[in-house]
Structure 1
Amino acid sequence: MRINVYSQELTDEVATLTKESNTGLTYSAVQLMLHSSPLLHHPPADDDRSAVTFWLPKSAQRRAALAETFEKMADLVRAAPPETGLD
């Protein structure tokens, strides 16, 4: 699967999320919120904004590996050549 998120959709808003499943287990995630139309959010308490959600693994080792992957991505973003595209 490939997911494309364009730079114009990116925000600096991140959030944590927890959900309890119908089995009683609680799952945690981190979300990167995306720009979306305010017309989609009525009533205001209904937060159905677009987001990229990363559900976290249970073990500390796999969480550390995921964090390292995100850190590598940040390094690649900083080192990437400048573009002539849109912001």
Structure 2
Amino acid sequence: MRINVYSQELTDEVLLIEKESNTGLVYSAVQIILHSSDKLHHPPQDDDRSAVTFWLPKSEHRREALALAFENMAKLVRNARSETGLD
């Protein structure tokens, strides 16, 4: 699967999400909120904004691997050629 998010859709809003399953387990995720139309939004309890959600693994080892991947992505962003992309 490939997910494309264009630079015009990016915001600086990042959330920690926690959801409890019907088995009582709590799952955590980090979510990057994307720009979306104000026409989509209703009451605050019905947050239907566009987002990319990364559900976190259970083990500390895999969580650290994911954190390192995000840190590596940040380094690549900072070092990419400045003339690429759109605003």
For structure 1, the residue ranges without an aligned partner over 5 or more in a row are none
Tell me the equivalent position of 2:76.
76
Q: Helix, strand or coil: the match of 1:2?
A: coil
Which contiguous aligned blocks of 4+ residues in structure 1 show a shift greater than 2 angstroms?
83-86
What is the CA-CA distance between 1:56 and the residue it aligns to?
Answer: 0.2
2:29/2:54 contact within 8 Å kept: yes
Could you report, residue by residue, the CA deviation over 1:42-61 in whole angstroms, capped at 9, with x for unpaired residues?
Answer: 23431110000000000111
Cα distance between partner residues in 1 of 2:50 and 2:56: 19
Could you report, residue by residue, the CA deviation over 1:23-80 in whole angstroms, capped at 9, with x for unpaired residues?
Answer: 2211000000000000000234311100000000001111111000000000000010
Inter-CA distance 79–36: structure 2 relative to 1 (3 Å threshold): same
What is the CA-CA distance between 1:9 and the residue it aligns to?
Answer: 0.2
Please give the root-mean-square deviation of Cα atoms over the aligned residues, in Å.
1.1
Tell me the equivalent position of 1:39.
39
Instruction: State which drifts further: 39-48 or 23-32.
Output: 39-48
For structure 2, the residue ranges without an aligned partner over 5 or more in a row are none
Query: How many equivalent pairs are there?
Result: 87
With normalisation by structure 2, the TM-score equals 0.94
2:7/2:85 contact within 8 Å kept: no
